A and B are shown apart, each in its own frame.
Chain A
């Protein structure tokens, strides 16, 4: 029997020590008895009739000698050899993507994958090395070419699941690069192969896939957005839930606004289909929401009792999504025109809006129209339109906004699309227009209030990258200002032009880096992760405007607070690296303020809540990752190089390129030498430990035999059996 540490057999030197201890004369205690008459006869009888009595001590001696031998063998680490099933250099890739959190196999796919990988390491040949790669959103080398299999096993056990969208291709490329260092390498991939992103070309080593997972059902939230309602008074949530399984499913959608349950819907989801859901008025002006959380939960038992299909969900990670409601921003509107009390009054009623006015004659570059969020031209148009959003009311001349071909009297109103957000809650059935400009609908716009022949009365669209809308008539030349619909229409229209509903707080993909703006005066930002831990990110350089945060591997809402910043907060700006600019103090907008609105001629930007921390959400929202049905491992295995010789895949010995133990042969040496088949070593410590324990137990039983017999007799007596007869 071969041993790994044969020097430990020196422990057999304890055998004579044990013998010597038995050879030493036993020291007996002296006890005076009334008579030794019976004892003398007894000793005679025992020696004559029961020789095994003397052997009892010998039995103890034998057991203790046997124990010494067993322990010495255990220390010498005997092993058995068998043909190895893996290459000498193994690269283990563990898929840690979000789909590996599925629980269709207990306890999870990742745990199953780790167990399979650890089990597969038993086939590693003696002297082989192991590299371990965790394939999450990005590939990371956990262990690099270690010969300590126990260390590799421990490293595999320590791999944790991520919430990232997996990139198995990245990991396979890395594994291929690691495998290329050796001529006898193999890539072992433990994955569910669910919608993997595979690299192009072939890898430089054979690939073996340990597939985990079964066909699984999963329902997920694949989209979530919160928009400001066209009215600007509340927010709406748009949710897309997908059933990625093959059976119909019933799920309950719960919407929480700042932790308070606001809406519950029960959805019956068709298999392999998405279901969109819109929930309006999730908050109000008095209680604006800052964070919206949507959960996909089990349906009510009542719903199931009513015949709704039951459902199972094997991946809980994608059942919750968060969205951050963009903070209400103060909008500045410049009204250029002679002045219309109806219009000015309606505009002043818009929330979070400051209105500025200027006469057409005073309008010019000095007005700095670029500093306003919306410029409204009333019955007048400049030669050059500002770069920002524009609303033209009764444009007198043809311009990029539209072709004016004259005026029309009493134009009729065409069929309205009530589903258009601009016309939401707007009733124009009693609208009468005295005179309107005769316009043609441009190609870039959609008609909101179509006419019956004289052109549209209101249209909107995107002109040259800027939102633009044209109202064909002056409000005072109609009865619109006298109707309830007027302020609503104006609010919806300005809301669309100001982009309030088009600047979603986009969720960040897990694992994606986020650039966080550092407020002026702050030395950095502090990020509080969803689990409550905080990361402090000091500014990389003095005066840096932003810092990158990459620990977005956990789903949830991250809170960003400035460090040392007195009254400014950082805001996430996505992955484009753009930093949040500090709002500059605007110059006076005009020399002629609108008297009727009383608006300031020197506006100062006032943040909605300077002390409020900024938030951003990290959501999975990935159909690919939520599609957890296991894929075809053959696709991945086909990427690998063909198995080369005996070392991999159980190929027969003598045909491969691998050399014997020691230095692996290079690929070019194939066929030049008779390779020795790689052997795996199985240490035999388990049966030896069991044997040692058995011997120890037996030795104890022999030593404590009297106690055991007494206990047995006591138990028998307690159970009512007749005790051994005694005189």
Chain B
């Protein structure tokens, strides 16, 4: 991300509706200190942010949270979504009795409603050295995707936690809530740096799992180029949160522009592999890649997690409005 001098897309944030970032006002008044220094204004322009506001995370099942969420209408101060009946017991709120049922059956039933709560959305960004590859860089794409999803969560009154998976640990950033903290979110994401050495994705995922605040949504954005990637997915999904895996691979990894007799050197481990790359080899590589992705998708599906393979050159708008919508991650 490059450092913008004037965040113009947000300067007209007055028209962004109720959920527009409050920091936009500050920016217009010259308080641009809240802006991430390396934010790319071409990614989060006004139109993109406006469309993000209309999106919310589509939860596949109700989750318990600490605060009431604002993703649904709270017109009457409580939920209006009917859930179930139970017999009346002493001490119950008489306002919850269903008098119509009582008139027909002459029995007292208490109506139960779904209570809406806020959700913690944890964004796990893989910062392993392999994420530095690709054109565009996979880590950059991961930051942008995390920013988009985090913004959606903030706009939906959800809590957002950003963690970078680096080495064998997950570095948890501050927890954010409210749409006004979007620039803080961007700043946190911009501050993620590549790990110095090899990353153990499984260990880092386990570490992140221990820091999860409870049930919520966990979004893992990684290239999963780790022998234990499937186990990491499995264990994250076992934490009780709804897991969304964005499998980011660059176009060069999807269709390597390699040919001839080569010695391929791993960017993290430095190990080399001698291979003669020809069309048959490339076809085998692609088949192997597809099988690998299919295996990860199967693992995710078994754990009721969402798995979305995305190329790093996919435009963010397509990612959010097409790919994630298609997979019902956002709605």
Contact = CB atoms under 8 A, between A and B. Distances in A.
B254 A33 contact: no
Contacts of B285: 38-39, 42
Contacts of B278: 56, 705-706
B309 A42 contact: no
B279 interface: yes
Contacts of A33: 133, 253, 256, 264-267
A727 B227 contact: no
A23 interface: no
Contacts of B227: 37
Contacts of B272: 30, 36
Contact of B284 (A36, A42, A705): A42
B266 A46 contact: no
A395 B232 CA distance: 151
B273 A39 contact: yes
Nearest to A39: B273
A669 B182 CA distance: 119
Interface in B256-310: 256, 258-269, 271-276, 278-281, 284-286, 288-290, 292-293, 309
Contacts of B269: 36
B134 interface: yes
A53 interface: yes
B235 interface: no
Contacts of A38: 225, 285, 288-289, 292
A139 B292 CA distance: 88
Given A46-B281, A710-B279, A34 B288 contact: no
A415 interface: no
A31 B263 contact: yes
A53 B292 CA distance: 22
Nearest to A33: B264
B158 interface: no
The range of chain B's interface size is 35 or more
Interface in A392-435: none
Interface residues of A, number: 30
A43 interface: yes
A668 interface: no
B250 interface: yes
Nearest to B133: A34
B166 interface: no
A29 B273 contact: no
A28 B261 contact: yes
Given A29-B263, A42-B284, A705-B279, A36 B271 contact: yes
B38 interface: no
B120 interface: no
B118 interface: no
Find the residue from A32, A36, A706 having the highest chain B CB count within 10 A.
A36
A50 B285 CA distance: 13
Interface in A24-71: 26-43, 45-46, 50, 53, 56-57
B163 interface: no
A27 B268 CA distance: 24
B40 interface: no
A39 B132 CA distance: 18
Given A26-B261, A33-B133, A727-B309, A53 B268 contact: no
A516 B311 CA distance: 97
Nearest to B265: A32
A27 B280 CA distance: 21
A29 B262 contact: yes
Given A29-B262, A53-B280, A727-B290, A34 B130 contact: yes
B223 to A, nearest CB: 7
Interface string B126-139: 00001111100010
A42 B278 CA distance: 13
Interface string A7-36: 000000000000000000011111111111
Interface in B207-233: 223, 225-227
Contacts of A57: 276
A35 B266 contact: yes
B262 A36 contact: no
Interface string A686-727: 000000000000000000011001100000000000000011
B273 A53 contact: no
B260 A709 contact: no
B252 to A, nearest CB: 8
A489 to B, nearest CB: 106
A727 B226 contact: no
Nearest to B283: A724
Contacts of B254: 727
Nearest to B270: A32
B223 A34 contact: yes
A549 B228 CA distance: 105
A31 B262 contact: yes
B258 A31 contact: yes
Contacts of B280: 50, 53, 56, 705-706
Nearest to A708: B279
Contacts of B131: 34
B264 A31 contact: yes
Nearest to A30: B263
A53 B130 CA distance: 29
B267 A34 contact: yes
A454 to B, nearest CB: 121
A114 to B, nearest CB: 53
A45 B288 contact: yes
A41 B295 CA distance: 14
Given A45-B288, A705-B279, A34 B134 contact: yes
Given A28-B274, A705-B279, A36 B266 contact: yes
Nearest to B249: A34
Contact of B225 (A30, A34, A50, A56): A34
A37 B225 contact: yes
B273 A36 contact: yes
A663 B271 CA distance: 78
B164 to A, nearest CB: 18
Given A34-B250, A727-B290, A39 B275 contact: yes
Interface string A606-638: 000000000000000000000000000000000
Contacts of A37: 225-227, 266
A31 B225 contact: no
Contact of B267 (A30, A32, A46, A726): A32
Given A28-B261, A33-B133, A33-B266, A727 B253 contact: no
A26 B269 CA distance: 24
Nearest to A54: B276
Contacts of A27: 261
Contacts of A29: 260-263
Interface string A648-680: 000000000000000000000000000000000
A36 B265 CA distance: 7
Interface in A327-356: none
A53 B284 CA distance: 11
A35 B279 contact: no
A378 to B, nearest CB: 116
A45 B267 contact: no
B265 to A, nearest CB: 5
A709 B286 contact: no
Given A29-B260, A46-B281, A706-B278, A35 B130 contact: yes
19 contacts: A26-B261, A29-B260, A29-B262, A30-B272, A31-B262, A31-B264, A32-B264, A34-B133, A34-B134, A35-B223, A37-B225, A41-B288, A42-B275, A42-B288, A43-B273, A50-B280, A50-B284, A53-B280, A727-B286
Given A33-B253, A35-B268, A706-B278, 12 more contacts: A30-B262, A30-B265, A31-B262, A33-B266, A33-B267, A34-B130, A34-B131, A34-B223, A36-B264, A50-B284, A705-B280, A706-B280
Interface of B: 130-134, 138, 223, 225-227, 250, 253-256, 258-269, 271-276, 278-281, 284-286, 288-290, 292-293, 309
Interface of A: 26-43, 45-46, 50, 53, 56-57, 705-706, 709-710, 726-727
Ranked nearest first, the 3 interchain pairs of A and B with the lowest CB-CB distance are: A706-B279, A34-B133, A35-B225
